[in-house]
Chains A and B, each alone.
Chain A
Amino acid sequence: MPVEASDVLSLRSSDDVVRARQAVRAKAVEAGFGIVDQTKLVTAASEIARNTVDYGGGGTLLIEILREGARRGVQLTFSDNGPGIPDVKAAMTDGFTTGGGLGLGLSGAKRLSNEFSIESMPGKGTTVTLARWNR
């Protein structure tokens, strides 16, 4: 699938989470997303970016605009070298939280995305890839 544009950000602090939101918003606008699709994507990005900073010990975000025929989409790849998630399945259930949150981070982000995948192993870090397509 051809990549039309891309951006890489480092996620180390909560300021970076704000920056990530703005960068994702900009790419969503570039990809021609309507306001609702933009909001859903940026909200999903905020959830995962926060996880990367708070639990992953910091990491990176790769933002790509994809094209499939007439449709355009935005794909986000979050990677960190943190402790990893021992039980991904449990982490994906609503309400599950180890840090006192609402426990909606991963499962919520998945609901807001058209495509979602997560790879994580204890001691090997975590990679979350999500994508949203133009309606």
Chain B
Amino acid sequence: MAEIPVLKIGDCLLVSIQIDMHDRLAMALQDDLTRRIVADRARGVMIDISALEIVDSFIGRMLNNIAAMSRVLDAVTVVVGMRPAVAITLVELGLSLTGVRTALNVDKGLALIRQAIDEQGGSFARRSL
């Protein structure tokens, strides 16, 4: 079974979904990412879905789960590159991506992660004083 590669850039993990995933692969990705966030002490997770032609409720659930798990592990999740047709369909489908931040592309996604981490770090620092 093919695996989806997870790359590490600094304290961020980057996943680029290039293929039409079947459900087992999506579950494997979810598990793999969670494991890696802990193993690599990642502060940010970026999921690039610019190659995805379809995001259905299963994939949506996967994205929400990843965001929820990473939040528990003190990491920020950003989904980038959603195609217009996919966005329009998701709105029609009624699917909301809770706890998932989105950005137009990888560059903006990284900037968003940095900004979010700084915000969290800032508030934490204030609390501990």
Query: CB distance A43 to B20 under 8 Å?
Result: no
Does chain A have a CB within 8 A of B86?
Answer: yes
Per-residue B-contact encoding for A30-51, CB less than 8 Å = 1, 0 else: 0000011011101100110010
- Chain A residue with Cβ nearest B22: A14
Q: Is chain B's interface secondary structure helix, strand, loop, or mixed overall? A: helix
Instruction: Answer whether A21 and B54 are a contact pair too, CB < 8 Å, given A36-B88, A108-B94.
Output: yes
Q: A30 CA to B47 CA in the complex, in Å?
A: 32
Q: Which residues of B contact A (CB under 8 A)?
A: 20-24, 53-58, 60-61, 64, 84-86, 88-89, 92-95
How many contacting A-B pairs (Cβ < 8 A)?
Answer: 70
Instruction: Answer whether A50 and B58 are a contact pair too, CB < 8 Å, given A36-B88, A39-B53, A39-B88.
Output: yes
16 residue pairs from A and B, CB less than 8 Å apart: A15-B22, A18-B20, A21-B54, A22-B20, A35-B85, A40-B92, A43-B93, A46-B54, A47-B57, A50-B23, A101-B58, A102-B64, A104-B94, A104-B95, A111-B92, A112-B93
Q: Which residues of A contact B (CB under 8 A)?
A: 13-15, 17-18, 21-22, 25, 35-36, 38-40, 42-43, 46-47, 50, 94, 101-102, 104-105, 107-108, 111-112
